[in-house]
């Protein structure tokens, strides 16, 4: 079966599980990415006045990042940046349901529900609703990932707190993750920002040392049906 990575914004997919995607694709897994939000329009007072060329360039970088991590396909949608809560939850749920029905993934990675960013929270809730474990559902495993500069900045004040139980060895694919993140020139920041290359390596090293690895990505287990 395939793996589907669901992200609210361009770059969340790389920050959350770029190394895992690169490893899975290298091992022969079909990896698909869905990015629900258009990205960056919240930086404008009026969404309608957002620079269309800048948005198009951001989406092109998403395609480049997907290629770098070996994704089989990338699906992009246009939910309003940092305004997911302005849309009915059912709209987001149905978008994910349609994709799950089409791709039939056995594993889904999604945003973490205790993040600071409201779009991450809506994405998490919608994913859990769209993949609810009814008889015959293809999705057997659902994991949530952290996003540097959102998950940790919630300071575990929002439930659920990020307490990972699953760790993926990305010792061989960490630099691919860094390279993919560097394609997002408008989203990267210099050290000591959490999205800097130095910080991303430090985060991977931190999780790795907790489980005896050189580098790892960490995930909360929502559901794992054997």
Distance CA 139, CA 91 (A): 20
C-alpha 154/C-alpha 152 separation (Å) is 5
pLDDT in tens, the chain (226 residues): 799 999 999 999 999 999 999 999 999 999 999 999 987 766 666 666 567 888 888 899 999 999 999 999 999 999 999 999 999 999 999 999 999 999 999 999 999 999 999 999 999 999 999 999 999 999 999 999 999 999 999 999 999 999 999 999 999 999 999 999 999 987 888 999 999 999 999 999 999 999 999 999 999 999 999 9
At residue 181, the pLDDT reads 97
- Domains in the chain (CATH in brackets) are 2-224 (3.40.50.10320)
Pairing of strands 2-7, 166-169: unpaired
pLDDT of residue 210: 98
Provide the sign of the torsion angle of the four alpha carbons 201, 120, 182, 221, taken in this order.
Answer: positive
Q: How far apart are the first and last CA of the chain?
A: 14
**Predicted local confidence at residue 51, as pLDDT:** 72
Element (H, E) at 36: strand 31-37
CB atoms within 10 A of CB 163: 10
Phi first, then psi, for residue 216 (nearest 5°) are -150, 155
pTM of the entire predicted model: 0.95
């Amino acid at each position: 079966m395939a793996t589907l990575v669901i992200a609210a914004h361009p770059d969340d997919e790389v920050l959350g599980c770029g190394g895992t995607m690169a490893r899975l694709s290298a091992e022969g897994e079909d990896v698909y990415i869905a990015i629900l939000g258009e990205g960056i329009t919240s930086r404008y007072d009026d969404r309608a006045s957002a620079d269309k060329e800048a948005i198009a360039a951001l989406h092109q970088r998403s395609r480049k990042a997907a290629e770098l991590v070996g994704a089989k396909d990338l699906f992009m949608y246009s939910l309003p940046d940092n305004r997911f809560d302005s849309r009915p939850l059912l709209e987001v749920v149905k978008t994910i349901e349609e994709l799950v029905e089409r791709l039939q993934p056995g594993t889904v990675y999604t945003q973490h529900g205790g993040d600071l960013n409201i779009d991450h929270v809506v994405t998490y809730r919608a994913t859990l609703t769209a993949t609810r474990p009814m008889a015959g559902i293809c999705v057997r495993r659902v994991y949530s990932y952290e996003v540097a500069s959102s998950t940790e900045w919630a300071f575990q004040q929002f439930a659920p707190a990020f307490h990972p139980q699953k760790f993926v060895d990305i010792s061989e694919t960490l630099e691919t993750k860094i390279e993919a993140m560097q394609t997002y020139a408008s989203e990267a920041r210099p050290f000591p920002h959490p999205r800097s290359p130095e910080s991303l390596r430090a985060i991977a090293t931190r999780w790795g040392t907790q489980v005896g690895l050189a580098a790892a990505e960490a995930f909360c287990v929502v559901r794992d049906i054997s």
